[in-house]
Chains A and B, each alone.
Chain A
Amino acid sequence: MATDRPTVPELVQAVREFLETEVQPGLQGSVAFHTRVAVNVLKIVERELADGPALAAEEQARLVALLGHDGDLDTLAHELIEAIRAGRMDVATPGLKEHLRSTVMAKLAIDNPRYESYRRALHDSDA
């Protein structure tokens, strides 16, 4: 199954291209708007299929380092918010803001890499 073609990313891409080239040009009003949203959703899916697993693994590894023990991503993420809610961690906690920034940058790489604050942050980290 792993090598079956078309792959899931290829199928999603095909639907997205169909919407962009054959459906969108003839549309107006709210259907045109919602189709643009649908195309953007498929772009998010394509990016997450490509990069999501690696980014999640990086987030999990950072959480292991920050919290000092192993665990799956979901459990560790809940443990982190519990630590913040209980006041055991805050903006001054070493490594916390760096971890959150890396996590948010990874999310935006998938959700909306055109967001201006993201582009600025990428540019600043390159400089």
Chain B
Amino acid sequence: MIALTDSLAAAVARHLGAAMGDHPRVEALSRLTAGAANETWSFDVIGMLPSGEEQRFGCILRRSPGIGDEGKSDTNLGKAGEAQVQRAARDAGVAAAEVLFILDAEDDLGDGYVMARLEGETLPRRILRDAEYAELRTHLARDCGRTLAQLHSVDPARLPTLTTLGAAEQIERYGEIYRAFGQPVPVFDLALRWLADHRQDPRRLTLVHGDFRNGNLMVGPEGIRAVMDWELAHLGDPMEDLGWLCVTSWRFGEIDHPVGGFGQREDLFAGYEAAGGGNVNPEAVRYWEVFGTLKWGIMCMIMTHSHLSGATRSVEKAAIGRRVSETELDLLNLLT
């Protein structure tokens, strides 16, 4: 960890240069998330202002050190691409942390980027239950609608090259993954068939966040402070983001509030339309909610099989396979 501290201090000095003074120090380095292919670290940069006054600046490092393939996503965006998307979204008005710099080969720290550290709540159960957020919960669904409208309005010319993932490609991909496990989940076959039969052609192609849900939102009592985890960003049907936000798994027990466990669909749609996102097609949102529920179920299978294959042995990954049945019940409730 001392080595990482030193390398980070050198990277900060190279990229941020004069802004942080001549010899910026790195302190309070701590690992926030554990994962073989994705690491998130928090640290402070202490720099010297020209006045001789010290200033402390909170930072977050996200990187993939280049080991394991667990984090390989559909999008293969890479951490640099993720940072570029986050930057473009922030420039378009989406609440997101400021990207300070993207790591390069000379930093020798892997694929990653450093962003400003923001303060706020990210734990879904606190957002849904703490008294501090009672007022927030009355308008958070509408706020999500506004944020998604901004996110979907990002000019594609300002984005890195993104994979286009429509419904057809995603059904094909997740269907193949599921069938390759050789483990019969008849509800998944029923859902795959339903999704193929009811496919809705997108009205337009936009930037899609890909994981916009309760759990990836940092909030304060006043509203959304940052949309996090941009690694699944792609081009696709904007309704995908609205549907994923409504998947029952992301309601954390508050199932009568379809939007993230905190709000109603009408408020989400109204916020989206009022912010210039265009008319919401409720049928398409529902379609993507079905797809999202299936996708989460198959993701649970992927994680469990990563344990079973020996790729990443973990009691958590072993246990998550038993959450597949949750998505089966939710799918049966949705398929009519």
Contacts and interface: CB of A to CB of B under 8 A. Distances in A.
Interface of A: 30, 33-34, 37-38, 40-41, 44, 77-78, 80-81, 84-85, 87, 90-91, 96-97, 100-101, 103-105, 107-108, 111-112, 115-118, 120-121
B332 A104 contact: yes
Contacts of A101: 329, 332
B322 A44 contact: yes
B73 interface: no
B248 A112 contact: no
B100 interface: no
B326 A108 contact: yes
Contacts of B186: 77, 80-81, 84, 100, 103
Given A77-B184, A100-B187, A104-B187, A118 B34 contact: no
Given A87-B193, A100-B332, 11 more contacts: A34-B314, A34-B316, A41-B322, A90-B190, A100-B186, A101-B332, A103-B186, A107-B328, A108-B326, A117-B248, A121-B329
Given A81-B184, A120-B255, A104 B189 contact: no
A121 B34 CA distance: 36
Task: Give the one of A38, A116, A118 with max B CB within 10 A.
Answer: A116
A66 B190 CA distance: 16
Interface in B169-198: 184-187, 189-190, 193-194
Interface in B225-261: 248, 251, 253-255
A108 B323 CA distance: 9
7 contacts: A34-B315, A37-B319, A40-B319, A100-B190, A111-B326, A117-B326, A117-B330
Secondary structure dominating the interface of B: helix
B1 to A, nearest CB: 16
B16 interface: no
A25 B253 CA distance: 26
Interface residues of B, number: 30
For B318, B332, B335, which residue has the most chain A Cβ atoms within 10 angstroms? Answer: B332
A91 B190 contact: yes
A107 B326 CA distance: 9
Contacts of A107: 325, 328
A123 to B, nearest CB: 12
A117 B334 CA distance: 12
A115 B193 contact: no
Contact of A97 (B34, B255, B330, B332): B332
A37 B330 CA distance: 23
Contact of B323 (A85, A96, A112): A112
Nearest to B255: A116
A112 B184 contact: no
A44 to B, nearest CB: 6
Nearest to A33: B316
A30 B335 CA distance: 37
A48 B194 CA distance: 31
A81 B188 CA distance: 9
B193 A111 contact: no
Interface in B291-336: 314-316, 318-319, 322-323, 325-326, 328-330, 332-333, 335-336
A112 B319 CA distance: 11
Contacts of B194: 90-91
